[in-house]
Amino acid sequence: MQLLNKTVSIRDVQRQYKDVAVTVGKSSRPIIVMNRSQAQLAMISLKQLAEYQRLKAFYFLEEVRATNKDVDFDDAYNDISSEVESVRQERYENSSSNN
């Protein structure tokens, strides 16, 4: 397992974009773009991006579950339904008054 990210210079990206893009596409790790020995950005493949987005969504759902673990489902459903109905009513009243 590779522990260190590969680095490329910003100049390499400018001059050899196609080669860098192929490397990024094949890599399972981010490619760090350096400018004057400082990391500027990371390049990742579309597959890695999709995985990141999937994990981010999963983490969000787990946070919601943890936050609401002690909430009664029926009470929460009734509260949400009531709030949705009041927003619908408000929008209906606003659209009726504008016509």
Q: Do 27 and 57 belong to one domain? A: no
Number of domains in the chain: 2
pLDDT at 28: 85
Q: Do 90 and 72 belong to one domain? A: yes
Q: Do 54 and 85 belong to one domain? A: yes
Give the integer Cα–Cα distance in Å for 18 and 3: 25
Q: Do 37 and 63 belong to one domain? A: no
pLDDT at 29: 86
The three-state secondary structure class of 9 is strand
| Domain span holding position 16 | 6-47
Residue 1 lies in a domain: no
What's the CATH number where 29 sits? 3.40.1620
Strands 31-35 and 6-9: parallel
Q: Do 54 and 91 belong to one domain? A: yes
Q: What is the pLDDT along the chain (99 residues), one digit of tens a residue?
A: 444 678 999 999 999 999 999 989 988 888 999 999 999 999 999 999 999 999 999 999 999 889 988 988 898 899 999 999 999 999 999 988 876
pTM, entire model: 0.56
